[in-house]
Structure 1
Amino acid sequence: MTGVPLAEELLLLAYDDESGKATMPRISLDLGMAAAALIELALAGRIAYDDGALTVVDPTPTGEPVIDDVLARIAADTPHSPSSWVQRLRHGLRDRILGDLCEHGVVRDVDETELGFIHVHRYPVLDRSVEADTRQRLTAALTGAAPDERTAALATLVAVLRMESALGLSGEDAEQTHHRLEEIASGAGFTGEVSIEGSVVRPSVGLVVAALGRAVQAALGPRH
């Protein structure tokens, strides 16, 4: 596997660089982390969506410990639906990914105490280059550049999780951006209609992302 894991990219977008606090509901972020880890495995050719379930097609580790733990867990279990897996995986996954980012010097863990006994962790950014690359790729896609598989998958998750505010947008700008993100998802085949001709997205990846997108949307409920 090459590049920064999708879950790390998504998490960096979701945390404020200065305060180190999440800018979106924790349940949304946790579901997003689970979906991103599963999509990472699809991008790496390790899992597929077949007959309503996610299955392992190649158990070879990717080299990313958190992602490989997810792969091993799926391989050791009976097949489950995407909805089941995002619920099963969401607990504790964000903390592990934050731990990896701390270990690699991308963010730092600030442990503070509130009311004299409540521990609160913040994760301000130390190395802005990772998030800068992520935002640059998203911006290019939003302004018309053809995204690659990974960027299109990230754009799809941003749309599904309603993360326009993480891009510094609100009001009409946020709505226009959401519409564009949905266009990217649709054009990549990530909305359930997988198109092979002229697409940079592998159909196997498209099926997984589309199924996980539906699972997360169902868990979050209607968009307001």
Structure 2
Amino acid sequence: MAVTLPEEMMLLSLDDESGQAKDGLMLGLPLSGAIVLELAFAGRVTLADGQVRVVDTRPTGVELLDGRLAALAAWTEGRRRTKIGDWLMKDQRTSVRAAEESLCRRGLVTEEKHKVLGLIPVRRYPEVDGSVERELRERLTDAVLRGEEADDRTAALIALLQAGLLHRIAFPGVPRREVEPRMKAFTEGHGVAESIRAAVGAMYAAVAAAMVATAAGAV
């Protein structure tokens, strides 16, 4: 079974040594967006005019996606307005936890629990199998830094990372001022398949807008 976009994003975020997420406060919105985008690719939801609609509730066979599909279907039922950004804001924390659990089930990371100062519970996810992340980072490097062709799923992941301002987890050794314009240029210039272009564009816009709204609310 192929690793999904949210799982790839989660792998990028986890520190290989500590098992803790880097840029954890910024991860939730784009990762939740990655789940919805996967559901759109699978024909379970549609994304148009800033709205998300569930059009098929059949399971995809991927536990991570099916759990969020059921929750999204329950949330949209009976609503007149189903703004993508509203769902991302609501579901971001749950989506991150679901992605962590999915990586554990796959055996790519292991969960460790402990308490800080004997009171605050903390979970860590040290990597077990690093081959998936290494291949992923090579694909990102080829596409963004070397200017090579990339498949549509890699292009979609880069768009979400760009929208979520997650340049540091994608390219930890490259200064942001160097990698950000390259990611932007790739996102704008990559000709993804017509069948997914609208979905990627809608999710990029929704994540970027939600990031701005979150930042404004924190001021």
Is TM (by shorter chain) over 0.5?
A: yes
Supply the distance in 1 between the matched residues of 2:128 and 2:29 (Cα, whole angstroms): 25
Supply the distance in 1 between the matched residues of 2:203 and 2:150 (Cα, whole angstroms): 15
Q: Which runs of 4+ in 1 moved over 4 A?
A: none
Supply the distance in 1 between the matched residues of 2:122 and 2:27 (Cα, whole angstroms): 17
Residues 179-218 of structure 1 correspond to what in structure 2 (within 5 A)? 179-188=181-190, 199-202=192-195, 203-218=197-212
Supply the distance in 2 between the matched residues of 1:119 and 1:74 (Cα, whole angstroms): 28
Higher mean Cα deviation, 125-134 or 68-77? 68-77
Residues 137-156 of structure 1 correspond to what in structure 2 (within 5 A)? 137-142=139-144, 143-156=146-159
TM-score by length of 1: 0.84
Aligned to 1:113, what secondary structure does the other structure show? Answer: strand
Partner in structure 1 of residue 163 of structure 2: 160
Supply the distance in 1 between the matched residues of 2:152 and 2:177 (Cα, whole angstroms): 23
The runs of 5 or more residues in structure 2 that have no matched partner are: none
Q: Which has the higher contact order (CA 8 A, sep 6+)?
A: 2
Aligned to 1:67, what secondary structure does the other structure show? Answer: helix
Tell whether 2:219 aligns with 1:221: no
Aligned pair in 2 of structure 1 residues 211, 48: CA closer, same or farther (>3 Å)?
farther
Partner in structure 2 of residue 64 of structure 1: 62
Over residues 53-101 of structure 1, what are the superposed CA-to-partner deviations in whole Å (9 max), with x where a residue is unaligned? 1112333321112211222233332351111010121132212221121
Over aligned residues, Cα RMSD in angstroms?
2.1
Residues 1-224 of structure 1 correspond to what in structure 2 (within 5 A)? 3-24=2-23, 26-76=24-74, 77=76, 78=79, 79-142=81-144, 143-166=146-169, 167-170=171-174, 173-188=175-190, 199-202=192-195, 203-221=197-215
Letter of the 2:28 counterpart: D
Query: How many matched pairs?
Result: 209
Q: Structure 1 vs Structure 2: percent identity of aligned residues?
A: 33
TM-score by length of 2: 0.85
